[in-house]
Amino acid sequence: MTSKKPKRILIIKLRHHGDVLLTTPVADRIKHAYPDCTVDMLVYQETADILRDNRQINRIFTIDRQWKKQGLRRQLAHERALLADLKAQRYDWVFNLSDQWRAAAVAKLCGRHSGSLRYGKRDNALWRFCHSALSEDLGHEHHVVEHNLAVLRPLQLADGYRPRVRMEIAPETRSSLQDKLRKQGCRGEPYVLMHPGSRWVFKCWDNDKTAGLLQRLLDSGRHLVLTAAPDAGEQAMLADIAGRLKAPQGVHIWVLSGCLSLRELAAAIDGAELFIGVDSVPMHMAAALDKPQVALFGPSWVSRWRPYSERAEVVWAGDFGALPHPDSIDTNDQTRLLGAIPVDAVWQAVQKRLAE
């Protein structure tokens, strides 16, 4: 659309932590093509930590979803202040990777040019009016990273560069994580990290099978770090799994349940020999940190949501039994849907990645 090199670009992603992390290849692609371009992002406040310390992102603007609880007048004051701040940046391009109308309005008002995707539910004149360029929304056979990168088509960038999902960790975060490990008795021993939980229970493996896998690791002499989010359900799951394990003499289990910040969890993953998890944010963090990993998948679009990494081994429940269609899932259902995955299959994948 334009041959002029952009000087300032805003990327909008108003979704969950993993969705935001998987937009970082867009910034990476822009910075590779235009090293002097300033790239900012607009995200929900609770997801901003996933982007902290990323040197490719100049500034993180945030929307606090608690604004609406402060009354209409205060909410509008926050919205106007944010809009004024964004307009003052004088962006050459705003790339909108959200399907909300709020994001479309920012794209329309805050950039000389604006790009987005042809989301099915937004295929109308108003969506086209809000964006000066629209790219096709790729199907489920494409990874979500490719889907996000499609928004850059108006820049007509040369092929040949494969952007990365990126996450960086500050030294003080690494130090904080090491302090917590030391308090549990860790003295720098190598470890395998497993994060068995997810915000959606249907993505989780059975506790007995998880424990069976971890026991094999312990019996082979591997130290373990086990983590859980500060969520009562995840912590109860991890407590049950850990309670089934018996560490041989000289082999250790360090449980960090609900006590790590998102960035400390990233530091813990980065320090591991191997990450094991399910379809969740930590899985994408491991890919961003270029760690060997084994990821267990159930009824998700695997081609779209698998780890964006060549060092990941995916074990899919659909290879061992029938699964419901991904679009039919009730995310509030507490039924676990990875039960068909046998321990032996995951153990083989773990051995393969540990042999790297």
pLDDT by residue for the chain (356 residues), tens digit each? 556 899 999 999 999 999 999 999 999 999 999 999 999 999 999 999 999 999 999 999 999 999 989 999 999 999 999 999 999 999 999 999 999 999 999 999 999 999 999 988 888 999 999 999 999 888 888 999 999 999 999 999 988 899 999 999 999 999 999 999 999 999 999 999 999 999 999 999 999 999 999 999 999 999 999 999 999 999 999 999 999 999 999 999 999 999 999 999 999 999 999 999 999 999 999 999 999 999 999 999 999 999 999 999 999 999 999 999 999 999 888 899 999 999 999 999 999 999 98
Q: What is the pLDDT of residue 332?
A: 87
Tell me the residue type at 110. C
Please state the length of the chain: 356
Q: What is the pLDDT of residue 121?
A: 83
Q: Give the DSSP letter of residue 186.
A: -
Q: Which domains does the chain have, with CATH numbers?
A: 8-155 (3.40.50.2000), 171-354 (3.40.50.2000)
Contacts of 46 (CB under 8 A, 6+ apart): 65
Structure tokens belonging to residue 173: 């975060």
Grouping H, G, I as helix, E, B as strand and the rest as coil, residue 312 is: strand
Q: In what order do the strands lie in the sheet with 253-257?
A: 253-257, 223-228, 191-195, 274-278, 293-297, 312-316
Q: What is the pLDDT of residue 3?
A: 60
Contacts of 177 (CB under 8 A, 6+ apart): 260, 264, 267, 268, 271
Supply the pTM of this predicted model. Answer: 0.94
Q: What is the pLDDT of residue 1?
A: 54
Place of tokens 């309670």: 243
State the Cα–Cα distance between residues 207 and 9, nearest whole angstrom. 45
Q: What is the pLDDT of residue 95?
A: 98
Q: What is the pLDDT of residue 148?
A: 97
